[in-house]
Structure 1
Amino acid sequence: MVENVQDKDFLEYVVKSIVGRPEGVSVDRTVDERGVLLTLSISPEDMGYVIGRRGQTAQAIRTLLKIVGAKNNARVNLKINEPEGSQRPARREQRPTADIDTSSVDDLRI
């Protein structure tokens, strides 16, 4: 029986198309009772391209993989390995909230 690897090929194609170092992309495919797990490894410089702003690119890739999996009657999940030595940028401080007028609820006994 030939193993169906359309999902792996699709993921490699998409990721190699958006990163700066396509030679640093590797995808491992494992199948178990829960479905297909694709593990993506990329170079640290390309993490931002794959994750995207607020994780939107990674979420879009996951959605497309679920569609490919549904077409092949398989549940496909994506795991993105964080490269060794990579560092997440420090989160920006949240803006202080403006003074809120609570006078209308001060008399409530909560």
Structure 2
Amino acid sequence: MKALVEHIVRSIVDHPEDVQVEEAHEEKVHVIRLFVHPDDKGKVIGKQGRTAKAIRAVVHAAATGGQQRRVRLDIVE
């Protein structure tokens, strides 16, 4: 899952070397934290959050292929 998020985000930002993804497992939730360069935060979120919503949709679709675990994508400043 980490590699998927990295690949998607690195392809849309201006500073791909600053993209970092961390994974954590909380009780029943798989948490993915995304760190990007401050200048790229707007690109990752998109107008009215559409890009972030699309990334989350892909992550949720990929998660349902394996375990039935909830997945949360956090874009961290």
Give the TM-score of the pair, scaled to structure 2. 0.93
Identity %: 38
Q: RCO greater where, 1 or 2, for CA within 8 Å and sep 6 or more?
A: 2
1:104 is matched with none
| Aligned counterpart, 2:74 | 79
Report the secondary structure of 2:74's partner residue: strand
How far does residue 78 in structure 1 lie from its aligned partner after superposition? 0.3
Structure with the bigger percentage of helix: 2
Gaps of 5+ in 2: none
- Mapped to 2, the partners of 1:36 and 1:59 lie a distance apart of 17
Q: CA RMSD in A?
A: 0.8
Moved over 4 A (4+): none
The alignment status of 1:55 with 2:68, answered yes or no, reads no
Q: Which has the higher strand share?
A: 2
- Alignment gaps of 5+ in structure 1: 1-6, 83-110
User: Highest CA radius of gyration, 1 or 2?
Assistant: 1
Paired position in structure 1 for 2:11: 17
TM-score, normalization by structure 1: 0.66
Matched length: 76
